[in-house]
Structure 1
Amino acid sequence: MEISYWVVAALLAAFYLFAGGKKAVQSQERLRPMMGWVDTVPMPLVRVIGVLEILGAAGLILPPLTGIAAWLAVAAAGGLVLIQIGGITVHLSRGEARMIGLNIVLLAAAAAAVWLGTTWL
């Protein structure tokens, strides 16, 4: 279980550091080609989502790595589940049902991290 958690957590952390970093620092014009939804969401909210994704990535790795408050990893994974539920909701509200594949994969991976974290940590 421990190895499974670390594999899932590392993959999620890498993705969310990249995606969250882009949302946190890039302009709306630079984000638009990859994330069309930034036109319908205020940029301060996009920035908040980016910061939450970065914090979620750190929360998946740092607490279990240091052994300090390891339960935070489960909370971080649960937060990433909520982010993906929000992402799916935004895509469906925009009529982009074909765009939710990645969201579903990330949702499943984050849910797996929650489960693995509760059984291992």
Structure 2
Amino acid sequence: MDIALWIAAGLLALVALTGGFTKTFIPKEKLEHHEGAAWTRTASRAFVKTLGVLELLAAIGLILPAVTDVAPVMVPVTAVCWIALMVGAMITHGRLGQLKLVAVNLAYVALALFIAIGRFGPESFTA
């Protein structure tokens, strides 16, 4: 179970790192032309960058606390925060009729829920 949780956290951290890097470092004007980022057309540049930074922090929060054994409880806390972020993403993509992206976000929610339940419960780092 511990290995499965590490794999899930690694995959989700990779997703968060990719999305965070994209939103933080690729100009909003360039993002607006991609169908998956159509929501950026009506969002401010600051909002897009803020989401990017939050995703980068999520990537760090899913791995670093456990690896360094400094506040490892932040791993499941980060997973819960990721769930909230993905619920917002599902609402946004749903309003735009992007049901495939809603399904992808739902898969990310499932991974984060697995991490949160596992790390708050039976495979807690403090147990």
TM-score (norm 2): 0.89
Question: Are 2:51 and 1:49 aligned?
Answer: yes
Identity of aligned residues (%): 29
For 1:86, the equivalent position in structure 2 comes to 88
Q: 26-35 or 8-17, which moves further after superposition?
A: 26-35
Please show how residues 13-24 of structure 1 align to structure 2 within 5 Å.
13-24=13-24
RMSD of aligned alpha carbons: 1.2
Q: Residue 117 of structure 2 aligns to which amino acid in structure 1?
A: W
Equivalent-residue separation in structure 1 for 2:47 and 2:119 (angstroms): 29
Gap regions ≥5 residues in structure 1: none
Q: 23-32 or 6-15, which moves further after superposition?
A: 23-32
Encode CA deviations 1:53-73: one digit per residue, 9 max, x unaligned: 110110010111111111111
TM-score (norm 1): 0.93
Aligned residues: 121
Q: Secondary structure at the match of 1:70?
A: coil
Q: Which runs of 4+ in 1 moved over 6 A?
A: none
Shift of 1:97: 3.2
Encode CA deviations 1:13-51: one digit per residue, 9 max, x unaligned: 111101111101111222121411111221211111111
Equivalent-residue separation in structure 2 for 1:51 and 1:31 (angstroms): 16
Gap regions ≥5 residues in structure 2: none
Q: Residue 16 of structure 1 aligns to which amino acid in structure 2?
A: A
Kept in 2, the 8 Å contact 1:17–1:54? The answer is yes
Equivalent-residue separation in structure 2 for 1:28 and 1:85 (angstroms): 22
Q: Secondary structure at the match of 1:100?
A: helix
For 2:76, the equivalent position in structure 1 comes to 74
Q: Residue 4 of structure 2 aligns to which amino acid in structure 1?
A: S
Kept in 2, the 8 Å contact 1:77–1:114? The answer is yes
Kept in 1, the 8 Å contact 2:62–2:78? The answer is yes
